[in-house]
Structure 1
Amino acid sequence: MAFLQRSAIRSPTDDALRRRSNDTPTPEWNPTSPQWAPEDNTSLSPSEASSRASTPATGASLSNEVKAVICNLENELREAKATAEMNRRKVADLEYKVQQLAADIERERESSERSIDIERNTVMYFRQVNI
């Protein structure tokens, strides 16, 4: 939960929830009141749905929105963890490849030094023989 409090990333839904929770007083609880009934958005036209989305939320819809935001944040956290794990694996793979390349370079350097030594010895031998 501390992660969520420190998070600087805010979605439009977060801002909408914050505005609604700060601007709209919570009405008295009355389970028989239509405002506390669950919203059925399946039968709304697009214009009605957008107008409802822009009106202050009732307690039940606010609770549903909070649950939806929490669900979205949990999904984003799972995705972030999966991405972090994938990146850790990529880093480990790259570190291994770097070690292998360093070992190859060292072997090549040693081989080149041996070749240079052989050439020097050959040159020195022929100089001694020709003298």
Structure 2
Amino acid sequence: MSAIKMKRVLTTPALIAFGLAYMVPLGIFTTYGEVTVASNGHLPIAYVITLAMIFFTALSYCRMANKLPIAGSAYSYVQHTFGGRIGFLVGWAQILDYLFLPILNYLALGIYLNEAFPSIPAYVFVLGSLCSVS
């Protein structure tokens, strides 16, 4: 019996677009000012450190993809390396991440725009952004 393989369908531009959308460029607008003040101006160094960590994570994925050329993201790598149970947990963690991160982004957008336009309730912006992407 042959192993079931997933077909790779995303192109490099599509992966880059997904990555940029997932990193939430809006986040910098909703947090930068407040966090810079709270950290006494040290937020840019936190972004530089984060950039370095993301670089090493991307490098790790490149190496894993060369050693284990299968589709399926972190789940496949963990399942192959540590077994099905740990892979299952990582897969569920990814699903929850994909579910809750957009919710947090819409809430942050609503709060941010409510600060800019106080006469409009935050939930209007949250609902509006949800409707615009569905």
Give TM-score, length-normalised by structure 1. Answer: 0.28
Give TM-score, length-normalised by structure 2. Answer: 0.27
- Larger Rg belongs to: 1
